[in-house]
């Protein structure tokens, strides 16, 4: 299957999940609002999710896929790859049980590290945050196991099932919020809704695990439980995972740091950052995660067979496709972020001033959007070669800069400074990853691709200028009726897309030859 088709499959289903996520967050804003129970829920929800993204999606997947693909490369018989996956599964289960038990015991201490003053000063609110985090934390174990099945399916070029799985999380959370809306408007009702949300998180993790297990079974990849043993393959995976936590999980580690600084900010900061990140995650998930997921198995196979020209071509196509789609999304959200937050979130317990604050955070976050996508595109080049050390150094350098910028910007700009510091750190990581690839003669951008990226940036900048001019005309409708909000946002999106793609065609970065090249079958 071609790169464009793989990305389309993963990105399309991710978009469905993100749209359900928007519905979820719109309900959250209206039911829980910003501050109080809303902040307590965001804290409780982030704890298992940060660990999930750091270990399950980041380190584990990036280390497991190259090793798995090496065992299935050029073979019709998958018995060796199946045995390796079974050994990893057998070892992973007890590790997750022990880690989960320790986390549940230590949850008051963990939550205390990241709770802001508003949560810490209210013992009942703090206890609620701890309770919700404990209820939701088993989600980490379920999703870590689900990631193993997702990695197997992706390596078999069965991308759809894993891309569709997160939809179940949002469906469960929406169901909990709908039930919560029937409980009333008081503080007690909000707290009960928070507990329902925590239960929904854990239930969704179990459902996603079962969903992926069924699809792996239907694909002919049936795994049986073994006795846990520290085999050579498991040791090799462990050696790769430890540095991969830093290399592939720099974004999530920075989120831990963000939680420390969020604890110093006024009420509502947790919610503003979470709601702004939802908008940022839409293109990041559709494009960045889709590209990273799609190219890692193919890169691993090309490098295992020493077809370095094919690996370079795949990497180049992935970067060009990432920039073609991500740069205009970042520019559009930077210019129109407040319009989106007013239209999506204003209402109920979420005020217009809350929406404007969230819009400012969104604009700062999307400054780094292309960088976060490029990280997901460049890091697989290292992991496909079993090089997990180099991304450690680039990640640490970016983190040091991020922390330094937090000390400088957060006291002056508040939560907006926190978002901006993360964006600058991400661009630093991209620069280091690319320079080290180029120095090792593993990958260099050609002048042709660099020129196309420059023209993409020009088309996006002209589109941004047009949106800046047009956005005030829709201002009366961004917080109007549901129909007015939908029409105003749809008009903005359609206008921006039409302008960008017309300019991209005129500038020669989107033509039949480009689409044909990106549709070429890979691996």
* Three-state DSSP string of 4-55: HHHHHHHHHHHHHHHHHHHHHHHHHHHHCCCCCHHHHHHHHHHHHHHHHHHH
pLDDT at 213: 94
Query: Distance (Å, rounded) from C-alpha 286 to C-alpha 397?
Result: 27
Q: Which domain holds residue 97?
A: 3-519
Is residue 34 left, alpha or beta, with left meaning phi > 0 and alpha meaning psi from -120 to 50? beta
End-to-end C-alpha distance for the chain, whole angstroms: 8
pLDDT at 2: 56
Strand partners, 2: 521
pLDDT at 404: 93
DSSP category for residue 497: H
DSSP category for residue 347: B
Does residue 112 or residue 3 have the better pLDDT? 112
Provide the token pair at 436: 């080290």
pLDDT at 516: 61
Provide the token pair at 132: 């919700």
In angstroms, what CA-CA distances link 263 with 273, 310, 502? 12, 47, 45
Query: Distance (Å, rounded) from C-alpha 172 to C-alpha 174?
Result: 6
pTM: 0.68
Q: CB within 8 A of 443, min separation 6: which ones?
A: 311, 312, 315, 316, 381, 434, 437
Nearest to 273 by CA among 176, 136, 414: 414
Q: CB within 8 A of 521, min separation 6: which ones?
A: 1, 2
Nearest to 319 by CA among 250, 264, 370: 370
Give percent of the chain with pLDDT exceeding 90.
Answer: 32
Tens of pLDDT along 99-124?
999 999 999 998 888 787 778 888 89
Sign of the CA dihedral 402, 406, 409, 414? positive
Cβ 316 vs Cβ 446: under 8 Å:
yes
Per the prediction, the chain carries an average pLDDT of: 84
Number of domains in the chain: 1
Cβ 9 vs Cβ 153: under 8 Å:
no
Cβ 249 vs Cβ 190: under 8 Å:
no
Alpha helices in 219-249 (DSSP H): 232-247
> 3-class SS at 521?
strand
Is residue 265 left, alpha or beta, with left meaning phi > 0 and alpha meaning psi from -120 to 50? beta
Using alpha carbons only, give the angle 78, 83, 89 rounded to the nearest 5 degrees: 125
The position carrying tokens 């880690």 is 99
Provide the pLDDT confidence category of residue 523 given band limits of 50, 70 and 90: very low
Provide the token pair at 341: 């937050």
Cβ 315 vs Cβ 295: under 8 Å:
yes
Q: Does residue 53 carry a pLDDT above 80?
A: no
Q: Does residue 174 carry a pLDDT above 90?
A: yes
What is the mean predicted confidence (pLDDT) over 416-439? 93
Torsion, Cα 330 480 24 159, to 10 degrees, reads -40
Distance of CA 192 to the CA centre of its chain: 28
Cβ 377 vs Cβ 293: under 8 Å:
no
Tens of pLDDT along 246-298?
655 555 666 677 777 887 887 778 788 888 887 887 777 666 666 666 666 67
DSSP category for residue 350: B
pLDDT at 270: 78
Tens of pLDDT along 342-370?
888 887 778 888 889 999 999 999 999 99
Torsion, Cα 223 229 233 238, to 10 degrees, reads 110
In angstroms, what CA-CA distances link 299 with 62, 305, 323, 332? 12, 10, 19, 32
Query: Distance (Å, rounded) from C-alpha 421 to C-alpha 164?
Result: 32
């Amino acid at each position: 299957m071609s790169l464009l088709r793989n990305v389309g499959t993963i990105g399309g289903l991710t978009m469905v999940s993100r749209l359900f996520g928007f519905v979820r967050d719109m309900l959250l804003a209206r039911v829980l609002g910003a501050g109080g129970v809303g902040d307590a829920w965001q804290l409780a929800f982030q704890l298992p999710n940060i660990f999930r993204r750091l270990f399950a999606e980041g380190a584990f997947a990036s280390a497991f896929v190259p090793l798995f693909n090496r065992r299935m490369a050029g073979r019709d018989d998958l018995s060796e790859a199946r045995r390796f996956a079974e050994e990893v599964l057998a070892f992973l289960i007890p590790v997750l049980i022990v880690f989960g038990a320790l986390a549940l015991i230590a949850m008051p201490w963990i939550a205390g590290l990241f709770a802001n003053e508003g949560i810490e000063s209210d013992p009942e609110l703090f206890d609620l945050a701890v309770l919700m985090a404990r209820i939701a934390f088993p989600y980490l174990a379920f999703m870590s196991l689900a990631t193993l099945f997702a990695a197997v399916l992706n390596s078999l070029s069965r991308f759809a099932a894993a891309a569709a799985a997160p939809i179940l999380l949002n469906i469960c959370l929406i169901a909990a919020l709908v039930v919560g809306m029937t409980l009333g408007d008081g503080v007690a009702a909000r707290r009960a809704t928070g507990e329902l949300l925590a239960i929904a998180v854990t239930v969704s993790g179990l459902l996603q695990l079962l969903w992926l297990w069924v699809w792996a079974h239907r694909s002919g990849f049936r795994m049986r439980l073994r006795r846990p043993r520290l085999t050579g393959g498991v040791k090799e995976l462990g050696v790769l995972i430890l540095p991969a936590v830093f290399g592939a999980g720099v974004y999530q580690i920075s989120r831990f740091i963000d939680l420390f600084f969020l604890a110093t900010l006024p009420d509502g900061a947790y919610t503003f950052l979470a709601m702004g990140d939802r908008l940022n995650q839409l293109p990041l998930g559709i494009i960045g995660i889709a590209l990273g997921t799609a190219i890692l198995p193919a890169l691993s196979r090309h490098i295992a067979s020493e077809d370095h020209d094919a690996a370079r071509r795949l990497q180049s196509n992935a970067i060009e496709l990432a920039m073609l789609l991500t740069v205009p999304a970042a520019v559009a959200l930077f210019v129109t972020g407040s319009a989106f937050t007013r239209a999506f979130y204003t209402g109920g317990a979420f005020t217009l001033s809350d929406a404007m604050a969230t819009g400012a955070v969104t604009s700062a976050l999307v400054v780094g959007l292309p960088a976060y996508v490029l990280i997901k595109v460049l890091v697989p080049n290292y992991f496909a070669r079993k090089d997990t050390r180099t991304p450690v150094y680039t990640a640490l350098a970016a983190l040091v800069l991020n922390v330094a910028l937090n000390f400088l910007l957060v006291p002056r700009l508040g939560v907006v400074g926190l978002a901006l510091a993360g964006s600058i750190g991400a661009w630093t990581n991209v620069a280091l990853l690319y320079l080290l690839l180029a120095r090792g003669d593993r990958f260099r951008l050609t002048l042709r691709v660099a020129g196309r990226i420059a023209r993409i940036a020009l088309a996006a900048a002209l589109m941004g200028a047009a949106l800046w001019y047009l956005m005030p005309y829709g201002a009366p409708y961004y917080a109007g009726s549901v129909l007015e909000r939908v029409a105003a946002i749809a008009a903005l999106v359609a206008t921006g897309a039409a302008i960008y793609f017309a300019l991209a065609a005129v500038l020669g970065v989107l033509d039949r030859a480009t689409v044909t090249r990106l549709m070429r079958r890979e691996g």
